[in-house]
Structure 1
Amino acid sequence: MRRAWLLVLAVLAALLPQSFLAGTAHAATVTIANGTQFNDTTGAGMHAHGGGVLKVGSYYYWFGENRNEDNTFRYVSAYRSTDLKTWEFRRHVLSAATDPELTDAKIERPKVIYNAATGKFVMWMHKENAADYSQARAAVAVSDTVDGDYTWQGSFRPLGHMSRDITAYVDDDGTGYMISAARNNLDLHIYRLTADYTGIDALVANPWPDGHREAPALFKRGGVYFMLTSGATGWNPNQQKYATATDITGPWTAMQNIGDSTAYGSQTAYVLPVQGTAGTEFLYMGDRWGNSFGENVNASQYVWLPLEFPTSTTMTMDWYPQITIDTATGTVDGVGGPWETLTARHSGKCVDVLSKSLDDGVQLTQYTCNGGMNQAFWFKDMGDGHVQLMARHSGKCMDVADNSTANGNKIIQWPCSTGTNQQWQLQDAGDGYVRLVSRLSGKCLDVSGNSTANGAKLIQWTCGTGTNQQFQRGT
């Protein structure tokens, strides 16, 4: 009898999706750097652009665009993680070889939802031909397992309407919805799906006619629906806006701004509820498109930020160069701060990362103080009386280039490490000013040539009494 039961259990294990058999291992707090590319557990670069996330069992499954070098469709790739940092590649769940309609196509913003009634996983996406954006179609594929091969169901214009940037959502009562940009992105349509989630039942709302919005992300918090979107400016980032409603069909509020004027150089892909023992917090997942900085989609970076809710119907999003996530407790927090400026005593100008550059190796300069995040630094205590200075805009640290001890060596930004060339001692220079002394060289942060000009470069130099080596910290 015992052998018979073991055989039954083995058969069931073979039939059930692997994701449903996963354990509930505790995922510790992880730190994730912003504005970077991600690698999977093999070290390969991840292609999850424009993607969405679905939690099944203890795993989060992340689906996204994996394009050819010319930005045309190659795959929808699937990854999974328990902690949202360590991502295992599962498979290419949809490929250009799946169906003739996918040859020479563009597939964007894949979103997977689960239909509890049918037991099917349903992927919605935006489909175009490879040449332009004249098709403006929605498309559907389905699978029996979350990370299995998805079967192409075809593409169409929902109820005859154009359909571009897209997302999908399942409400508390099991009703499925699809939201897409319509009428050349002038409208944002909310559609109710058929019972099996593979078709359109009705257009239930068009709340912002002529709003010119795209990249929709829909989520619900405490009985309030939030719709987060971007403007339609091609690959270039713009001002994100959001609206709220207590019924998905409306009435919806007018759109209002969130974040800065470029969403910190990103565009909405998805908003993920991270639910744990301490409650639920919400993670903004954005793409910093490679096309916006002279590359292609495959060079795109990811921007993840915690969303905060001052009231039940308002939302804010601030920039952090790093965030921490604990999926077990359901906490998402920004890392860094307080953020401070460094003002040179001789010139009254601020230490500045030129042109808000995110590049490694950019030499720091002085520039008229303007409140920019490229003039704000976190003095992170490294112990033994030393600090590390992290630039707020880039998450990179003030660094003595090439580990040099020479006079005149340039001071740059570089990915933060434990090197002594990124550690500084603050020495009292009197009257509220400090000298920054490199732990590596024993030399001081110095404005080259005692210059008072914008763009004067920062170097290290033998410490003296010059006011070009004296800096005031400020908030």
Structure 2
Amino acid sequence: MTPAVPIVRVRRAIAALILLAAAIAAPAGTAHAAAVTVTNGTQFLDTGGAVVHAHGGGVLKVGDYYYWFGENRNPDNTFRAVSVYRSTDLSRWEFRRDVLTRSSAAELNVANIERPKVIYNAATGRYVMWMHKENGSDYGQARAAVASSATVDGDYTYHGSFRPLGQYMSRDITLYNDNGTAYMISAADENRDLLIYRLTSDYLNVSTLVGNFWNDAVREAPAMFKRGNTYFLLTSAATGWNPNQARYATAPSISGPWTGWTNVGDGTTFNSQPAYVLPVQGSSTTSYLYLGDRWAGAWGGRVNDSQYVWLPITFPSETSMSLTWYPQITIDTATGVVAGAGSTSPYHRITARHSGKVIDVVNASTANNAEVKQYPWNGGGNQKWQFQDAGGGYYRLVSQNSGKCLDVANGSTADGANIIQYTCGGGANQQWQWVATGGYYQLRARHSGKCLDVVDASTADGADITQYTCNGGTNQQWTRTES
């Protein structure tokens, strides 16, 4: 006869089974990880190892997930898709799908779609996307376009494109949902003006023009957010793909009165252009995260070669904001804390073992294609280099004098390929690995695997520096000294 099991043991067993069942049933991804690190000035990779294409994009939080929508372009820079990714920690991004494609509507077959932004309409239960639409060959259309979906990452139904109120040009665009009342802000009149519109109750059209508060200011790339009782509108100047000085305005209400423009960040906004400002609300605080694009067009690349710059925004007062450069940032979505990391790297002189001479940009030139050779150390900014983290154990070497990168000319993989300085971009021919070898270091180019080499092991002033197959020679061995 089996002995009776004590009731308390039965209850404990049942409780354990309930906890186990709950753990199995809990949906994946709902638990927040600890703080994560994001490296700036890089292309992000999704969880499948592919490059994240969410350029000019915006982020919408739904449940535990942040959904990131953005541009995904063809090699000729025409529209391929609006792609969406999701993440719980803003670092590990899972590709969900292309929610709008060329096949979504006939007029999208040859088009440019820029700066897609999505907001949720609680009254209709639909997710509504607005974007800037062009014809794929020039910027003559200057139209707004609208699509919507019943689910955040489902197929979006395209509702067409138009000029707001039938008359106003509409280029760079953003959306803002103010407790159920939605607004669209876009550049108009050949980018001379920024107009604020109130949307219809279904968010599918423009209801009224709230105002043109900055006539002839020539601003684009708007990003609106609210902190406390102050509305902020962050923008860039209109300089094509090239970065410029970001500026912001503030107001106590979307309908104004708005201030004039105040500079924020450095003169190129750390080589980026505003795309979106994301509030990160957690258990401890709400942080505001600047999301910027470092457009590859600035160095002649394709849109899909562009990089991302994310920075924490700080607020010296209730009506002012500040941006500081950090090579990396840390994000804790559970607490809401976003902070700079990887304090700005110092500059170094880089000295060849065999000659005792340093890497030098000839004649302190600031031009693209300026020659890089060896010369005696003289303390000039053209002999000082900053190691900027490019991810994956590689660095960009940035000249203090010019702000340009150490570059293997034309991305060549050949022995003897010339070393120059060139505007920093995303190319692997500007990324270097600092590899220890017997107390010294090799600088290996990421694209070729070859070493930075002083030609013929010369010890002469002005000896050329190239890339060459790594061979252990002392003319391929370097030290770096902070200076």
Instruction: Select the residue among 286, 290, 308 that pairs with 1:284.
Output: 290
Within a 5 Å distance, the mapping from 1:153-302 to structure 2 comes to 153-159=159-165, 160-171=167-178, 173-302=179-308
Deviates more, 1:208-217 or 1:95-104: 95-104
- 1:385 matched residue in structure 2: none
> Does structure 1 conserve the Cα–Cα contact (< 8 Å) formed by 2:126 and 2:148?
yes
Write the deviation string for residues 71-111 of structure 1: whole angstroms up to 9, x where unpaired.
11111111111111111111111111111121211111100
Residues 352 and 259 (structure 1), Cα distance of their counterparts in 2 relative to 1, 3 Å cut: farther
- 2:139 matched residue in structure 1: 133
Residues 278 and 343 (structure 1), Cα distance of their counterparts in 2 relative to 1, 3 Å cut: same
> Does structure 1 conserve the Cα–Cα contact (< 8 Å) formed by 2:349 and 2:383?
no
- 2:63 matched residue in structure 1: 57
Amino acid at match of 2:272: S
- 1:340 matched residue in structure 2: 346
Whole-Å separation in 1 of the counterparts to 2:39 and 2:365: 21
- Report the Cα offset of residue 38 of structure 1: 1.8
TM-score relative to the length of structure 2: 0.73
Residues 341 and 92 (structure 1), Cα distance of their counterparts in 2 relative to 1, 3 Å cut: closer
Deviates more, 1:207-216 or 1:313-322: 313-322
3-state SS of paired residue (1:104): coil
Amino acid at match of 1:90: R
- 1:420 matched residue in structure 2: 436
- Report the Cα offset of residue 27 of structure 1: 2.1
Is structure 2 residue 127 aligned with structure 1 residue 145?
A: no
Whole-Å separation in 2 of the counterparts to 1:76 and 1:221: 29
Aligned residue pairs total 409
- 2:97 matched residue in structure 1: 91
> Does structure 1 conserve the Cα–Cα contact (< 8 Å) formed by 2:66 and 2:88?
yes
- Report the Cα offset of residue 324 of structure 1: 1.6
> Does structure 2 conserve the Cα–Cα contact (< 8 Å) formed by 1:341 and 1:350?
no
- 2:82 matched residue in structure 1: 76
> Does structure 1 conserve the Cα–Cα contact (< 8 Å) formed by 2:198 and 2:207?
yes
Instruction: Select the residue among 96, 106, 112 that pairs with 1:106.
Output: 112
Whole-Å separation in 2 of the counterparts to 1:21 and 1:349: 56
> Does structure 1 conserve the Cα–Cα contact (< 8 Å) formed by 2:357 and 2:374?
no
Amino acid at match of 2:277: V
What residue ranges of structure 2 are gaps of 5+ in the alignment? 1-25, 407-418, 420-428, 444-453
Within a 5 Å distance, the mapping from 1:295-334 to structure 2 comes to 295-334=301-340
- Report the Cα offset of residue 28 of structure 1: 2.0
- Report the Cα offset of residue 230 of structure 1: 0.9
Amino acid at match of 1:167: T
What residue ranges of structure 1 are gaps of 5+ in the alignment? 1-19, 380-387, 398-409, 426-436, 441-445, 464-468
> Does structure 1 conserve the Cα–Cα contact (< 8 Å) formed by 2:245 and 2:265?
yes
Amino acid at match of 1:73: F
3-state SS of paired residue (1:420): strand
Amino acid at match of 1:244: T
Whole-Å separation in 1 of the counterparts to 2:236 and 2:464: 34
3-state SS of paired residue (1:309): strand
> Does structure 1 conserve the Cα–Cα contact (< 8 Å) formed by 2:191 and 2:219?
yes
Residues 249 and 450 (structure 1), Cα distance of their counterparts in 2 relative to 1, 3 Å cut: farther
3-state SS of paired residue (2:346): strand
Write the deviation string for residues 241-274 of structure 1: whole angstroms up to 9, x where unpaired.
1111111111111112112222222111111111
3-state SS of paired residue (2:316): coil
Amino acid at match of 1:164: R
Write the deviation string for residues 386-442 of structure 1: whole angstroms up to 9, x where unpaired.
xx9986889x99xxxxxxxxxxxx9x984568x535xx98xxxxxxxxxxx5599xx
Deviates more, 1:22-31 or 1:449-458: 449-458
Is structure 2 residue 128 aligned with structure 1 residue 119?
A: no
3-state SS of paired residue (1:310): strand
Whole-Å separation in 2 of the counterparts to 1:175 and 1:332: 28
Residues 28 and 351 (structure 1), Cα distance of their counterparts in 2 relative to 1, 3 Å cut: farther
3-state SS of paired residue (2:139): coil
Amino acid at match of 1:293: W
- 2:424 matched residue in structure 1: none
TM-score relative to the length of structure 1: 0.74
> Does structure 1 conserve the Cα–Cα contact (< 8 Å) formed by 2:143 and 2:162?
yes
Deviates more, 1:104-113 or 1:286-295: 286-295
